[in-house]
């Protein structure tokens, strides 16, 4: 278990982490999300005592990091895969870590095997590809067989097979009852890996909830309809008092707040042929973009480019102007702490 209480970090006048309080619980993979510059790495560094908080505390299994007798046996972390000594072999990098943390040498071969680096164990790590470097960093995190593991962007540089491997590894470690805390910008990957989410923006807590609740509360669901008798369908919907949004790009209609069953029956009553009748649920990416739209520090302003994915917020007529950017269902009282 990791517990943060009022954690704050200022760099000069800049507040990088702003009064963060949350817990990371064992037995599930907890995803850590936030736009660029939100304060994720700074938070993780303070969790590992690599940065001093301006105020607030982090406890690892109830203790401050510096009071853990052999920290690697409690918490393993992959923060920067390039932090390894390039002139040393993969084996020697891990051996040094093992010896300085009183971890049996036999564990070095075990973790090398676990991450698939045994064939290159004696090669200098400076010749490693990005993906091999990530695997070595993960091996180092696993060395002390810790109950808590933290990974900052662990799938960076990994190929699809490597991404699948780390996903299964993290899920497997969580299933063993360990605490797994992972940051990633790859929303599709996070959606497949994490069960719980902590979301921050400009250093502040925006959400602390399950993946399912996060998506449900921060995205709209709607029904998509397509018919070869589209104009007739629009008239029928209009007569029934149902608002349909025309999406010319896809030749579809989008309907909010009416069940697909009801729409299908209405079409059938009027003998309208349907080529599509599909309930839509937004992706984690859309939910994330909606929630963090107000706290993105660095916007790209390409001509004509929207800042949200298709269907989200600004270009989405379904989102009324008075709905806050984190979505209609999101409980604003959750902002800043549970």
Rounded to the nearest 10°, the torsion over CA 308, 313, 318, 320 is -160
Which CB atom, from 206 or from 223, has the smaller least distance to ligand ATP?
Answer: 206
Rounded to the nearest 10°, the torsion over CA 69, 152, 37, 52 is 10
Burial class (CB in 10 A: 0-12, 13-18, 19+), 299: exposed
Considering only 16, 79, 120, 166, the residue that binds ligand ATP (CB under 6 A) is 16
By the rule CB under 6 A, 36 interacts with ligand ATP: yes
By the rule CB under 6 A, 207 interacts with ligand ATP: no
Considering only 20, 31, 40, 330, the residue that binds ligand ATP (CB under 6 A) is 40
By the rule CB under 6 A, 42 interacts with ligand ATP: yes
By the rule CB under 6 A, 324 interacts with ligand ATP: no
Which CB atom, from 18 or from 286, has the smaller least distance to ligand ATP?
Answer: 18
Site residue total, ligand ATP (CB under 6 A): 11
Which CB atom, from 17 or from 166, has the smaller least distance to ligand ATP?
Answer: 17
By the rule CB under 6 A, 93 interacts with ligand ATP: no
Which CB atom, from 51 or from 195, has the smaller least distance to ligand ATP?
Answer: 51
CB of 4 to ligand ATP, least distance (A): 14
By the rule CB under 6 A, 50 interacts with ligand ATP: no
Residue 49 · residue 5 · CB < 8 Å: no
Using the rule CB under 6 A, give the single segment among 8-16, 137-145, 186-194, 243-251 that binds ligand ATP: 8-16
By the rule CB under 6 A, 14 interacts with ligand ATP: yes
The distance from CA 134 to its chain's CA centroid, rounded to whole angstroms, is 18
By the rule CB under 6 A, 41 interacts with ligand ATP: yes
CA distance 167 to 156: 12
CA distance 204 to 165: 32
**Beta strands 276-281 and 196-201, pairing class:** unpaired
Considering only 4, 28, 38, 211, the residue that binds ligand ATP (CB under 6 A) is 38
Q: Could you please report the per-residue DSSP string of 101-133?
A: TT--THHHHHHHHHTT-GGGTTSBGGG--HHHH
CA distance 117 to 133: 10
Contacts of 38 (CB under 8 A, 6+ apart): 200, 201, 202, 203, 292, 295, 297
Which CB atom, from 202 or from 227, has the smaller least distance to ligand ATP?
Answer: 202
Using the rule CB under 6 A, give the single segment among 23-31, 32-40, 91-99, 312-320 that binds ligand ATP: 32-40
Give contact residues for ligand ATP (rule: CB under 6 A): 11, 14, 16, 34, 36-42
């Amino acid at each position: 278990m990791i517990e943060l209480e009022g954690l704050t970090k200022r760099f000069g006048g800049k507040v990088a982490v702003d009064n963060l309080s949350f817990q990371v619980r064992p037995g599930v993979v907890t995803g850590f999300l936030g736009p660029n510059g939100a304060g994720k790495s700074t938070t993780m560094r303070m969790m590992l005592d690599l940065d001093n908080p301006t105020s607030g505390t982090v406890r690892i299994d109830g203790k401050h990091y510096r009071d853990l007798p052999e920290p690697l046996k409690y918490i393993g972390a992959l923060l920067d895969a390039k932090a390894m000594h390039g002139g040393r072999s993969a084996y020697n990098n891990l051996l040094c870590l093992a010896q300085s943390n009183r971890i049996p040498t036999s564990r070095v071969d075990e973790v090398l095997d676990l991450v698939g680096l045994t064939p290159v164990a004696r090669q200098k790590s400076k010749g490693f590809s990005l993906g091999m470097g990530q695997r070595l960093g993960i091996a180092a995190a696993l060395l002390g067989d810790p109950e808590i593991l933290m990974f900052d962007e662990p799938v960076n540089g990994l190929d699809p097979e490597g991404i699948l491997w780390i996903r299964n590894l993290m899920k497997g470690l969580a299933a063993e009852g360990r605490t797994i805390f992972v940051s990633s910008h790859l929303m599709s990957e996070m959606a497949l890996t994490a069960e719980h989410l902590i979301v921050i923006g400009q250093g502040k807590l925006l959400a602390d909830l399950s993946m399912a609740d996060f998506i449900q509360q921060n995205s709209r669901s709607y029904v998509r309809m397509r018919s070869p008798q589209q104009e007739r369908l629009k008239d029928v919907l209009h007569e029934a008092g149902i608002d349909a949004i025309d999406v010319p790009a896809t030749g579809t209609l989008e309907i909010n707040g009416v069940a697909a069953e009801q729409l299908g029956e209405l079409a059938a009553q009027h003998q309208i042929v349907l080529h599509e009748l599909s309930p839509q649920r937004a992706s984690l990416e859309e939910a994330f973009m909606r929630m963090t739209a107000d706290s993105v520090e660095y916007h790209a302003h390409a001509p004509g480019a929207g800042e949200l994915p298709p269907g989200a917020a600004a270009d989405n007529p379904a989102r009324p102007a008075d709905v806050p950017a984190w979505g209609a269902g999101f409980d604003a009282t959750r902002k800043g702490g549970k």
